[in-house]
Amino acid sequence: METTRIGTRGSALALAQATETRDRLMAAHGLPESAFEIVPMSTSGDRIQDRPLSEAGGKGLFTREIEEALLDGRIDIAVHSSKDMPTALPKGLDLLAFLPREDPRDAFIGRSARTIMELPDGATVGSSSLRRQALIRRQRPDLQVITFRGNVQTRLRKLEEGQVEGTLLANAGLKRLGLAHVVTDLMPLEIFPPAPGQGAICIEARVDNPRVAELLAPINDAPTATALACERAFLAALDGSCRTPIAGYASTEGETLKFSGLIITPDGSQAHDIAAEGPVSDAARIGRDAGAAIRAKAGAAFFDGWF
């Protein structure tokens, strides 16, 4: 029996996502655990801790080394957080499956207050995401918002030490780590829209490997794949990366897809939103058209200094 090697980042969350993928594959095919090997890998994004990722190169920093391992055959599949994935993938690779999406909302974890609105004037909040930083500033322009790097456990430790009074993390990741109890407030999607892909695990593989395509097909969640096709098309139309504060969320109801998107300046002072819907079969077109429409609505000057 051929062992399927699953590439992943080495953080606790990444390993939890790889383990969930392995367990779903075992259940779908009646395979033993020994049929799979989880291969943790270090990425540039994990190693760079001294500056914002937006200054170091953006989203691809979390995927480059893993994709190189895919292309040269050291691993068979790669498990990623969808929100970390660039919209343009290396030639020969594709996203072949998405697991059922977890809660897409952002979670606030407060030390001295339960919500962002209850924080004292001038309090310091930490986040590594430009989108979250911009949305915090929009809600509370008085707060000091600082870049806050590290994995989930590192950020929670920094919070406990008092380096900041609050931080925001993806609720999906906290739930997957069994840390939902640390959340003091869940941010409503309408006020604090998520990053495109947030809460969804994607699986990347070589397009010339039919064995792997057959292996992954039964665990692909169609509603999540459809929603992500729309969100990623929206992101691609805006040239989205870690350097751009962009939010987007799609959901399906029967044969209808509903999408909402937002672009916001890094200081939170200006924002434009858009809503669209249509048949699920048009998911990518809906996202692409929404991206083009919001770009036209904002005007070229809105994007000055973004890229």
- Crossing angle (nearest 10°) for helices 222-237 and 283-298: 30
| CA-wise closest residue to 199 among 153, 137, 247 | 247
The catalytic site residues sit at 84
Contact 306, 298 (CB under 8 A): no
Report how far residue 43's alpha carbon sits from residue 64's, in angstroms, rounded to the nearest whole number: 7
Contact 136, 163 (CB under 8 A): no
Contact 243, 130 (CB under 8 A): yes
Report how far residue 106's alpha carbon sits from residue 169's, in angstroms, rounded to the nearest whole number: 6
| Sequence-ordered strand ranges (E) for the chain | 4-9, 36-41, 77-81, 93-98, 106-110, 124-126, 144-146, 166-170, 185-186, 201-206, 246-253, 256-264, 271-279
| CA-wise closest residue to 144 among 122, 161, 160, 129 | 122
